């Protein structure tokens, strides 16, 4: 079946460090892929997405490239800030109308100054 | 533009009491609607989804129920709350179709004592 696997957290970094959060997926067909971010006490916000192979989604300095050959959608940022501290969720579509996105378990990022 | 509302924002209820959480979406028609629960420090659990008025699909067996009395209204209910029902409840909507982005509300934090 379709699934998303994220690296276990928490990830603890110093400000201005490089960030990578790994995400791999299992899916039939060609899903769309998403990264969501959840700040403390809030709902999830869409961070970026990619809808086909080799697409790169980007937003707020974050990037992720849809790699079909490795079934991956790793999230990267060159220089993290304290304000990036949050939980990050990788997700994919089943591609079927009505069904919800399939989410990974989330990775907590903590950035210290 | 589309917006999604949830209320109440926070709720403290005794075990055995009833529950009603409301979610409404503005600025769109015929959205797909979803209820998730997020227990402390854990990932998202899909509870229910709906593709139209009166159409509810349940993802997990539990003492919760959902209803969609209007196109843009989604209600989560329980007749008798359990301690294990505590958590962060998130409503989400998505345009009809298989590859669209899903948008989340601000969430309701429920504590059952």
pLDDT (tens digit, 9 = 90+) per residue, B44-72? 889 999 999 999 998 876 789 999 999 99
Region of A71 please: left (phi>0), alpha (psi -120 to 50) or beta: left
CB contact under 8 A, A106 and B44: yes
pLDDT digits (tens, 9 = 90+) for A67-79: 999 999 999 999 9
Residues of A in contact with B104 (CB under 8 A): 36, 43-45
Q: Name the minimum distance, in Å, from the CA of B29 to any CA of chain A.
A: 14
CB contact under 8 A, A45 and B97: no
B44 at interface of A, judged by CB pairs closer than 8 A: yes
Q: Tokens representing B18?
A: 């009833």
Q: Name the minimum distance, in Å, from the CA of B25 to any CA of chain A.
A: 15
Judge residue A67's burial from the number of C-beta atoms within 10 Å of its C-beta, 0-12 exposed, 13-18 middle, 19 or more buried.
Answer: middle
Residue A2's pLDDT band (cuts 50, 70, 90): confident
B49 at interface of A, judged by CB pairs closer than 8 A: yes
Q: Tokens representing A31?
A: 């899903």
Q: How far apart are CA B13 and CA B81, in angstroms?
A: 8
- Please compute the mean of the pLDDT values over residues A96-110 and round it to a whole number: 84
In this structure, are residues B61 and B8 in contact, taking their beta carbons and an 8 Å threshold? no
Residues of B in contact with A105 (CB under 8 A): 42-43
Q: Could you say which residues of chain B have pLDDT below 50?
A: none
Across B16-48, b (16+ Cβ under 10 Å) vs e yields eeebebebbbeebeebbbbbbbbeeeeebbbbb
- Which of B74, B7, B87, B78 is closest to B35 using CA atoms? B74
A38 vs A99, residue with greater confidence: A38
- Please compute the mean of the pLDDT values over residues A51-61 and round it to a whole number: 95
- Please compute the mean of the pLDDT values over residues A40-44 and round it to a whole number: 88
To probe the interface with B, which of A5, A98, A104, A105 has the most B CB atoms within 10 Å?
Answer: A98
Q: What is the dihedral of CA B18, B77, B75, A103, to 10 degrees?
A: 130
Neighbouring residues of B107: CB distance < 8 A, sequence distance ≥ 6: A42, A43, B6, B9, B38, B88, B89, B90, B91
């Amino acid at each position: 079946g379709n699934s998303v696997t994220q690296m276990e957290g928490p990830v603890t970094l110093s400000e201005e460090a490089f960030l990578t959060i790994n995400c791999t997926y299992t899916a039939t067909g060609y899903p769309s892929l998403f990264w969501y971010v959840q700040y403390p006490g809030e709902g999830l916000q869409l961070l970026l997405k990619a809808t086909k192979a080799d697409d790169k989604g980007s937003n707020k300095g974050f990037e992720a490239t849809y790699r079909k050959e490795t079934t991956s959608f790793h999230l990267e940022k060159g220089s993290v800030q304290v304000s990036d501290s949050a939980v990050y969720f990788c997700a994919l579509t089943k591609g079927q109308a009505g069904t919800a996105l399939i989410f990974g378990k989330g990775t907590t990022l903590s950035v210290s100054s | 533009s589309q917006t999604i509302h949830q209320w109440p924002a926070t709720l403290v209820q005794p075990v055995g009491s009833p529950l009603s959480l409301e979610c409404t979406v503005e600025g769109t028609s015929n959205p797909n609607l979803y209820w998730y629960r997020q227990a402390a420090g854990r990932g998202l659990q899909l509870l229910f989804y709906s593709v139209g008025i009166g159409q509810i699909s349940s993802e997990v067996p539990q003492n919760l129920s959902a209803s969609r009395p209007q196109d843009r209204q989604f209600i989560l209910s329980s007749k008798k709350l359990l301690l294990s029902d505590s958590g962060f409840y998130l409503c989400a909507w998505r345009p009809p179709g298989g590859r669209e982005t899903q948008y989340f509300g601000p969430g309701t934090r429920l504590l059952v004592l």
